[in-house]
Structure 1
Amino acid sequence: MDSFFSRLVLSGIPSYRFARHFLFWLAWWLFFGVLYGFYYIEDSSTLFKISFVEALIFLPAHMFLSYSIIYGVLPRLILKDRYWQALLSTLFMIMVAAGISTLLNKFVIAGYRAWVDFPMRHTTVFYSFMGGLRGSMTAAGFAVAIKLVKNFYRKRVETEKLEKEKLRAELELLQGQLHPHFMFNTLNSIYSLALKKSDRTPETILKLSQLMRYMLTDCRGATIELQKEIQVLYDYIDLEKERFGNRLDMTVNVQGDLQRPYIAPLLLLPFLENSFKHGANEMIEQAWISLDLNVQQSVLKFKLANGRVDESTSQENSAHVGLLNVKKRLELLYPNGHELRITEDTDLFVVSLTIELDKIKIPYA
C-alpha cells in the first residue's frame, strides 16, 4: 500500500502523473462545488444542482495559474534564483487568472444560468475579479506548496543517495588499500619460511590462498559473520607462528556470543597485523602478543596488547600508517557505535576497541 501511494505521488510514469493531477482537481472541484452551493443563496438544495457545473467552468482559470507557476515560474525563475522576475511573473499570472475568471463569469456562467432559468446575482466587474483572484490563488497556493514539498523530498532523497554512494566509494577505496598492505606482509612471512626450506611452506601457502579467497569473495558484502572474521584472525596467527616459532609468546582468549552477530569485514585484522609487524617483528628477545575478544548482547570488546622496542619518530609514523584506514572505516561504518583507544609506551602498545555491532551504518541500503 505504501509503495502504491509513493508511486502515485512521486512517480514520473504518465499514468501515475495523470492520476494524481486528476485526483487533485477532482478534490478542488468538489470543494468549490460545495462552497458555491452554500455561499450564493439561502436555498442551497436548489443551487447545489448547478454549483458543481459552475465550479467545473471556473477550473480552467485555477489550472492556468497553478500550472503557470509550478511548471513555468518555479523551475525557470525561482529555482534559478531569479526572484524579482519570479515575483513579477507570478503577479502577472494572478491577474491573468483573475481576468479569465471574470470573463468566464460574465460570458459563460451568465449564459449557463439563463439557459437553466436560474437567477443571476448582479455583481460588479471588480467583485467578480476579486472572486476569481481569491479562488485561483487558493488552488494555486496548494498546488505550489505540494510541488515544493515534493521537490524538497526529492532533493533530500538525492542527497542521501549521494552520501551513501560517497561513503561506499570511500569504504571500497580504504578496503582496496588494506588488501595490498596485508598481502605484502603475509608474503614476507612465507618468504621467510621458504628461506628456511621449511616443510610447512606448502601448508602456509594454502592458508594464504584461503585468506585471499576470504578477502576477494566473502568481504564483498557490507557485513560478514563474526565467526568468519575471527577465523581469519586465527589463520593469520597460524601464518605468523610459522615464521616466529618459539620466539613468539601468543595468548588468545575469545569468548561470548559468537553465533549470530555480524561485523563489517576486515576491521580487526589490521590491528593484529600491526602487532606483528611493528611489535613482535621488531623485538630482538622474546616477542609477545595478547588478544582478548568478548561479545555480549551485540557489543564486541576487543583488546590487543603487544611488546615493542623504543622506536624513532619515523618508525612510529610507519607503524601508524597501517591503522589509519581501519580508523577511518570505523568512523564511517560505526560513527555512533564504537570507541577506540590506543595506548603507547616505550615497551608496550595496547589497542582497546568497543563496537556496538547493531549500530552499523550500511552505505548500500
Structure 2
Amino acid sequence: MIKSHRIKLKYHVIFWSIYFFFNVIRWGSYFNDYQYSLKSNLVEFPLHMIITYTTIYYLIPNYIATKKFIQFLIYFGLLLGGIYFLRTGLNYIFVSKNLWPEADGIHQAYTFNHVVAVIIGEVYVVALASAIKLTYDWGEEKRKNNELLQLQTKTELDFLKSQIQPHFFFNTLNNLYALTIMKSDNAPEVVVKLSDMMQYVLYEVNNPFVDILKEINYIQAYIELEELRFGDKVKTDISLIGDFSGIQVPPLILLTFVENCFKHGARNSDKLKISITFESKKDTIYFNVANTIDGTPKKKTNHGIGLENVKRRLDLIYGKKYNLSTKIENHKYIVNLELSVI
C-alpha cells in the first residue's frame, strides 16, 4: 500500500488557482458571460474542495486502503448527494434561477439528468485531484524506497569491507610473527611496510572508491611483504598497460585474488610464479592474476575465503557491469576480472 505524504500548502494553492481560472475562462467563453462564470465558480469551488479533501484524506485511507469498498461507495454516494443539494441551492440563491444553462431549454433541478450532470462534474474533480495525489505519493514512496535501498547497500558494503581489513591485518601480523620467530633480519622492514599499509587500510579505504594507482601501489607493497617472507621461493611479475590516470576502483577489491596466490600457491608449491596484469582499455579495466599450482587440476576449487565477499561487493557496486571468471589451466590458477569505469 502506498502511504500518504503531505503536500506543501503552496502546491494546493497553485493547483486550485490554476483550475479555478481555467474553469472561469472556459465557461465564460462557452456562455460568453464571464461574470456568470466567475460567480458560479466562486460558489462551486469551495464544494469541490470539500468533496476532494474529504475523499482523499478520509474516505480513501479509511475505506479503500482497508478494502472496505462497499462502505466507501455508500459514504461517497452520500457525500455526492449532499454536495449536489448544496451546490444546487447556492447556485439558485446567489447565481441564477436557471440552474443548467448549458443544457438546451430550461431544466428543473433535482431531475435525473441534472443530478447525473452535477455528479459527473464532481467525480471528475475528485478523480483529477486523486490522480495527482496518488502520483505524488507514489513518487515519494519510490524515492524513500530508493534511499532505503541505498542505505542498506552502503551498510552491507561497509560490513563486507570491514571483514577484509581485520582479515588482512591479522594475516600480516602472523607473517611478522613467523619472521621474528626465525629472528629474520627482515622483521624491521616488515614492520615499516606494515605501518604504511595499515595507514592505507585504516584511512584511505573509508571512501567508496580510491584511485586505482593507489590500489596498485598497495598491492605492490603487499607483494613485497610476502616476498620478504618467502624469499626466493616466490617470483612475481606485474604489468601495467594503458593510461590509468583518473580511474577509480572500490578499495581492496583486487587484493583478495593476490593474497590467495600466496596463501594457496606458496603453501602447496616449492616454487611459486605469479603474474599480474592491469590493463586500461576504453571504458574498461582488465585485471588478470595467475599463479602456478602443483598437482592434478580439479574442475572445482575453493581458491580463497574472500572470493564470495568480493563477488558480493562487485554485485552491489557494479551490478551487471563486470565480469569475473576463474579457471585452472596448464597448472595455473587464473583469475580474470573486467570492470566498467565508473
**When the two structures are superposed, what TM-score results if normalisation uses the length of structure 1?**
0.83
Q: Do structure 1's residue 292 and structure 2's residue 283 form an aligned pair? A: no
Aligned equivalents of 2:205, 2:73: Cα separation in 1: 55
* 3-state DSSP of counterpart to 2:279: strand
Superposed displacement of residue 203, structure 1? 2.2
List per-residue Cα deviations over 1:219-274 (Å, max 9, x = no partner): 11111111111111111001101001111111111221111111111110010011
What is residue 219 of structure 1 aligned with on the other side? Answer: 205
1:302 aligns with 2:287: yes
Does residue 57 (structure 1) correspond to residue 43 (structure 2)? The answer is yes
1:30 maps to 2:21: yes
More displaced stretch, 85-94 vs 154-163 = 85-94
Counterpart code for 1:297 = K
- Say which of 45, 70, 83 aligns to 2:56: 70
1:343 corresponds to 2:327:
yes
The structure with the greater share of residues assigned to helix is 1
Whole-Å Cα distance in 1 between the matches of residues 312 and 15 of structure 2? 49
Q: Retained in 2: the 8 A contact 1:267–1:326?
A: yes
Are 1:252 and 1:290, in contact at CA under 8 Å, matched by a contact in 2? yes
Give the Cα separation in 2 of the matches to 1:329 and 1:128. Answer: 65
Q: Distance in 1 between matches of 2:284 and 2:242?
A: 10
* Runs (5+) with no aligned partner, structure 1: 1-9, 114-119, 359-365
Q: Work out the CA distance in 1 between the residues paired with 2:169 and 2:238.
A: 23
Displacement of 1:143: 0.4
Give % identity. Answer: 29
RMSD: 2.6
- Residues 280, 288 of structure 1: 8 Å contact kept: no
User: In the alignment, residue 196 of structure 2 is paired with which amino acid?
Assistant: Q
Listed as ranges, the gaps of 5+ residues in structure 2 are 100-104
State how far apart, in whole Å, the 2-side matches of 1:235 and 1:111 are.
93
SS at match of 1:233: helix
- Asked if the contact 1:257/1:297 (under 8 Å) is kept, the reply is no
Q: Deviations over 1:94-128 (max 9, x none)?
A: 22222221222223324899xxxxxx966333255
Equivalents in 1 of 2:208, 2:75: separation in Å? 51
Q: What's the secondary structure of 1:352's corresponding residue?
A: strand
CA distance in 1, matches of 2:84, 2:272: 89
Number of residue equivalences: 332
Distance 1:256 1:104, change over 3 A: same
Please tell me whether the aligned partners of residues 307 and 348 of structure 1 are also in contact (alpha carbons under 8 angstroms).
yes
Query: For residue 90 of structure 1, what is the aligned residue in structure 2?
Result: 76
TM-score normalised by structure 2 residue count? 0.89
